[in-house]
Homo-oligomer: A and B are copies of this chain.
Amino acid sequence: MLEEIKTNYAHIFEEELLEEINEVGIVKKVKSGDELIRIGQYLTAMPLLLDGVIKVMREDKEGFELLLYFLEKGETCAMTLSCCTATAVSEIRAVAEIDSTLVMIPIEKMEAWISKYKSWRNFVFDSYHNRLMEVLETIDNIAFKKMDQRLLKYLHNKAKFYENSEIKTTHQEIAYDLHTSRVVVSRLLKQLEKEKRIALQRNSIKLF
């Protein structure tokens, strides 16, 4: 069996289910920036994240983006789950934030396991719960907070994936994620720097 399946899921799934995952799951390795799910796409498999980080976002017709949340190892995308069971098209876009490894589970299995394994059922419901909570937090951010607070929160959130809280990104990238303009991001970052909360370098932001 794949070592990565065990280390990430052995504490929640029973041996038999782990075996099944190992059997039917198709391991997929993606590079940073690879697109995993497009909006409007029909989904036939559900991803379990073994390693890496996946960025999940919303897009409107004009192509504007908004970051919804990041998926980390041991998690799955409840949006995908939701679209699978309802045989609806995907409403989100998923892109690998860093190099990542996934196991793809065919829908039929996913549904069969819900009756068969209590641990799987719990996992599925927990995923729904966690994702709903994340989406609610996203709503809180855009509805109740101003751009400077959203920006700072975004940076702290993102810092977890980098060494030394040193985020490798560009102002334009941040602007896309928060759905604002590059100039606004630069302006607010400069302000945060003045307040000694961050340090700016080219292509990198250091958090204090």
Contacts and interface: CB of A to CB of B under 8 A. Distances in A.
B79 A132 contact: yes
Contacts of A58: 136, 139-140, 143
Contact of A60 (B78, B135, B140): B140
Interface stretch (A2-10, A84-92, A98-106, A192-200): A84-92
Contacts of A201: none
A179 interface: yes
Interface string A126-138: 1011011101101
Contacts of A136: 58, 91-92, 135
Contacts of A121: 114
Contacts of A142: 139, 142-143
A144 B66 contact: yes
A179 B129 CA distance: 25
Contacts of A143: 58, 66, 142, 179
B129 A83 contact: yes
A208 interface: no
Interface in A28-70: 58, 60, 64, 66, 68
A82 interface: yes
B115 A78 contact: no
A179 B144 CA distance: 8
Nearest to A128: B128
A74 to B, nearest CB: 16
A86 B144 contact: no
A143 to B, nearest CB: 5
B66 A133 contact: no
Interface of A: 58, 60, 64, 66, 68, 78-79, 82-83, 85-86, 88, 91-92, 114-115, 121, 125-126, 128-129, 131-133, 135-136, 138-140, 142-144, 179
